[in-house]
Amino acid sequence: MNPDHISLHNKQFEPYLPAAKLTTAIQELAAKINQDYAGQTPLFVAVLNGSFMFVADLMKYIQLDCEVSFVKVASYQGTSSTGTVKEVLGLSEEIKDRHVIILEDIVDTGHTMRMLLDTFNDKQPASLEVATLFLKPECLQHELPIRYVGLSIPNDFIVGYGLDYDGLGRNLPDVYKAV
């Protein structure tokens, strides 16, 4: 079901990206990661809360021995970034000399990813890469080495497929944009 619009709190949203398009992008990302990490055992570090659906679906197509862990950071309030990143739940695995891939639902300003890359680099991984389902290139405020991008999108506020508006909308299988 894909309604022609939805209401969350005080905002209206219209359909933007159907679940099938997301699945195709995720399958393509997985194929690249499978090829690049053949014979290795990467550690995927998922950034909660928004990435949970992306990570669950991506893992279905990863054909490598791997581990998955989670960190939780917060930088959003309402529809915009606060500009301040607060680590809520940190990484418990040792990542020194490991191949680490950070999994993120969306990279826009890059504040969160910059903090995570700096924090993880200090722990001396063998390699550190980023895989994001969505990238908003026109919003980036940091130079970031993002190796795996599912979809580059304009600076629209989106919800669904794990992304929320003040807690609502994460459960939607399709992605909607604010009107």
- Which active-site residues does the annotation give? 108
- Phi/psi at 177 (5° precision): -120, 150
Type of residue found at 105: D
Angle of CA points 90, 58, 46, to nearest 5°:
5
- Phi/psi at 167 (5° precision): 95, -15
- Relative to beta strand 99-107, strand 43-48 is parallel
Q: How far is CA 145 from the centre of its chain?
A: 14
